[in-house]
Amino acid sequence: MVRSRTVWACAALLTVTLGATAMPAVAAPAAAQRAVAACPTGWGSLDKSDFAGTSGESVTNVRTGRHDCYDRFVVDVPGASADQLGYAVGYVDELIQDGSGKPIPINGGAILDIRVMAPAYDPETGTATYPGVPRQPLPGVNLTGYSTFRDTRYGVSFEGQTQFGLGVRARLPFRVLQLDGHLVVDVAHSW
């Protein structure tokens, strides 16, 4: 009787041990597949634009954020509706300042030229609504620890458009989202 209990206890312990070691080997690939599948694909790296009508609102801020699959660049244009927030975003060999035609030095393996169809000033008074200084890094933006973003530059606000430069690690896929009050540019960490 004692021997029978010992055999059953050993069998149960062996089953639990084998089951516990076998489970992570099966579960780990599924978890890894979910993590990979969760990252967006198919954005592409070609120019993207929508020359929607202008809202008459002005750029007030730029901020960035880090996400698991991409880095995010957000231009705040309070009061602008998504369907009136025009933009043109694309990779360029060199960032050229609107109006002056001067090159703007920017670090990174690739450069995104981001243009928002909204001024960074009040059109009626000419008063600046965004504190950017042409050719300088964007105020209040710290890219330490970002996977994709390397550098930022303020181009200029010229003829109702505002230009930003974004230095990224390499030419990577990106998407542009028009939201009420915000233009969002997400750059993927990988293809």
CATH number of 48-188: 2.60.40.3500
Tokens of 190: 């990988």
| Cα 129 from Cα 116, distance rounded (Å) | 14
Can you read off the two tokens belonging to residue 110? 């690739």
For the whole model, what pTM was predicted? 0.80
Q: Give Cα 21 to chain centroid, integer Å.
A: 39
pLDDT in tens, 91-148: 999 999 988 899 999 999 999 999 999 999 999 999 999 999 999 999 999 999 999 9
Q: What is the pLDDT of residues 64-94, one digit of tens each?
A: 999 999 999 999 999 999 999 999 999 999 9
